[in-house]
Chains A and B, each alone.
Chain A
């Protein structure tokens, strides 16, 4: 029913391109779908609630709101968030130097402990260990027979004892391991309900008797909402170290994995994906996240979204700058772009009317470097909020950059001028973006093209500002030349105001 969250989000955002921007109700609708998808995946209700609230907050950022591919972006946010909740890297078994190590398996009835025990033994054997299986399920009929048969199949010793007392079987198994030179004892215990006090006490008694290096809870991937109640109880009472998710070869989404991480903080260590002893896999949070969302096949779409997101970061940046929210970080970015394309003089030469301007004054190429040194001495906060720069802060920055306070003042002044100029230019940019908000239906390509134009504008504006107040009169004139080009009709036939990113790239190529 909810097989394809991505498809459903696409539906929700269906005519979004024509709207131009995501509205709050669009995001709400998307979050409803995400909520349903997570519930369908058996993610615990409470976990879903918190998760959706967080995802919603993130979805309200400009990257998504202004995005051309909102469905993909929302999915990307959800996916990233899910992955990080599941644990960013896979965790392995933690064994000590003690001989023998003890690994104890616990869980509900029918969760797959005995099978997991054999798989674990097989894996340890493959890694050069000499495991021993201890049959401590004395309740389920023929449980020890099952373990013994499995042990034979993978050629691993099984200790059964008298089948009467789980605690003594576990203790004897440890001694048996020492006598028979086994270095890891895997204790298979009976399935038990978390509310069965007597049985939980037995689990604790086994634990206290053999002090396992690792206690692993085996949880069925198909478990529903109750998983939280169960793992919390086990966590409190036996304090397990990690989880094996069993029956992962089915098509259950396994939202329980997420719930376990969220509620207990304990990692999923392995997934068990079949009947063969070799089918114990390391846990991959990213794959699990995709599985929970029902998008195993959506990989390419995500990759596309990621590429789009990168492009949109630039675009969002451009728009922010166009709104005259210039920061010192932008200043540095602009400087670097200028340097990349060959410095101020190269750029000026390529600009319409630039040759004449160059002839009128001296260009100080080192100016950019000095500016950067000063900006680097600012705190991150100061860089984004230049109004913070009072006298004492300026003195500190000057000391840090090894320049005079005068130089800092100079930079701030340049910055303010640029900002002012950007405002004027931003007015033009806003006109542009206003137009993009109401494109004629069906002309979807238009917005993208105009956005590209926006991107070019602040680059040039920044340069103009950077130049305008810098090295005295000569450069000031240059700045004005630039400004004239930007705001006026333009000296050349194209006009700077209409310069696009592609044009800039052409300039870059020319300069190489």
Chain B
């Protein structure tokens, strides 16, 4: 099964609902009258694109319709996938494929951070990466136990401290441990927090700052005792700093507040990407368009379920096409 098929499978419900609406539009008005544009606007709004992004998309489409003399509604809808896709910021490379990377997962309570870390641990480890997990959520009850279970499922190691420990010192230890164990893909789970809580946001800033600082002295391979590591592989990596990245995990059901959340996390942490979860529901995750567009950060993966394999890569055009599905 191609990955697009997988994506489509995961997005079936989302797409079906989106299509239902578009089909209604097509059935009623093959012509580009006001009703058509109104209905299109409704479809985008109810997909959580937000009024500003919706107006921008409609504007662009109307412009295209005029300029390219698009004959009918179907032609416009075909164009729509490209327009929506064009609004996403494209990833330059896959962050999780960087040779040495430490990714911190941040976001609102319950957005799906821990689950996503679990899924990614499996994916990276399947791709031959040496994965190490870190549990920097020392706040929420049983968060450590939760990540521990995911680590077992993905069969990777996890660094954890007792509940209430300083999360910044946990992430410090994680990197320390990664050096020792020669891990090259470090995934750190953080506690969910509201972007409006200044204290908790500052705590997170500190976690990221400490991690970044510690990453500069990163010297993998020098202390290694990992026998499975090839010698030339160690040489290739020794001189490189560890790349530290921050990723926002956002729930597809999130409405317009998602943009505010993303702005706040971005201004504090300088986000490198966003992951949309729970796309297996009926919510369309349209807010991700606005987030990716405004903050110039790519969508890295999408979550389409609660199982360990329910994670998909993201491609803007495929995603937009899957949403609209013409043929």
Q: Chain A interface (Cβ within 8 Å of chain B)?
A: 1, 36, 39-42, 44-45, 108-112, 115, 139-143, 145-150, 153, 193-195, 220-227, 229-230, 247, 249-253, 255-256
Q: Is the CB of B256 within 8 A of A41?
A: yes
Q: Which of B259-279 contact A (CB under 8 A)?
A: 260-261, 278
Instruction: Look across to chain B and name the residue whose beta carbon is closest to the beta carbon of A109.
Output: B278
Interface of A is mostly: loop
Q: Is the CB of B132 closer than 8 A to any CB of chain A?
A: no
Does A252 lie within 8 Å of B197, measured CB to CB?
A: no
For the complex of A and B, list the 3 residue pairs with the smallest distance between their C-beta atoms, beginning with the closest: A224-B255, A110-B110, A42-B255
Structural contact, A255 and B255, CB atoms closer than 8 A: yes
Contact in complex: B51, A36 (CB < 8 Å): yes
Contact A251/B260 with A39-B51, A193-B281, A225-B48 known, Cβ cut-off 8 Å: yes
The answer to whether B110 and A142 have CB atoms under 8 Å apart is: no
Total number of residue pairs linking A and B with CB closer than 8 Å: 137
Please give the residue numbers on chain B whose beta carbons come within 8 Å of chain A beta carbons, in ascending order: 13, 17, 42, 45-48, 50-52, 108-112, 140-143, 145-146, 148-150, 194-197, 251, 253-258, 260-261, 278, 280-284, 286-287, 306
Please indicate the chain B residues that have their CB under 8 angstroms from the CB of A225 in the complex.
45-48, 255, 283
Partner pick for B283 among A146, A153, A224, A251, CB 8 A cutoff: A224
Nearest Cβ on chain A to B16's Cβ, whole angstroms? 10
Residues of chain A within 8 A (CB-CB) of B112 are 109-110
Question: Given that A149-B141, A225-B48 are known contacts, is A110 also in contact with B251, CB under 8 Å in the complex?
Answer: yes
CA distance A147 to B257 in the complex (A): 28
B255 touches A108 (CB 8 A): no
Set of chain A residues within 8 Å of B260, measured between Cβ atoms: 251-252
CB contacts (< 8 Å) of A115 on chain B: these are 109
> Assuming A229-B282, A250-B195, is B145 touching A222 (CB within 8 A)?
no
Cβ contact of A256, chosen from B142, B143, B255, cutoff 8 A? B255
A145 touches B145 (CB 8 A): yes
Q: List, sorted by A's number, 18 A–B pairs whose CB atoms are closer than 8 Å.
A: A39-B256, A40-B256, A109-B306, A140-B146, A142-B143, A142-B145, A145-B146, A146-B141, A148-B142, A222-B261, A223-B254, A224-B254, A224-B283, A227-B255, A249-B194, A249-B196, A250-B108, A256-B255
Shortest CB distance A442–B (Å) = 36
A222 lies within 8 A of B46 (CB): no
Do residues A250 and B149 form an inter-chain contact, with CB atoms below 8 A?
no
Option from A195, A220, A221 in Cβ contact (under 8 Å) with B281: A195
Q: Which residues of B contact A247 (CB under 8 A)?
A: 108-109, 194
| Best-surrounded residue of A44, A223, A224 (most CB of chain B within 10 A) | A224
Which of A147, A150, A252 interacts with B255 by CB under 8 Å?
A252
How far is it, in angstroms, between the C-alpha of A458 and the C-alpha of B110 when the chains are bound? 64
Bound-complex Cα distance A230 to B110 (A): 17
Chain A nearest CB from B229 CB (Å) reads 31
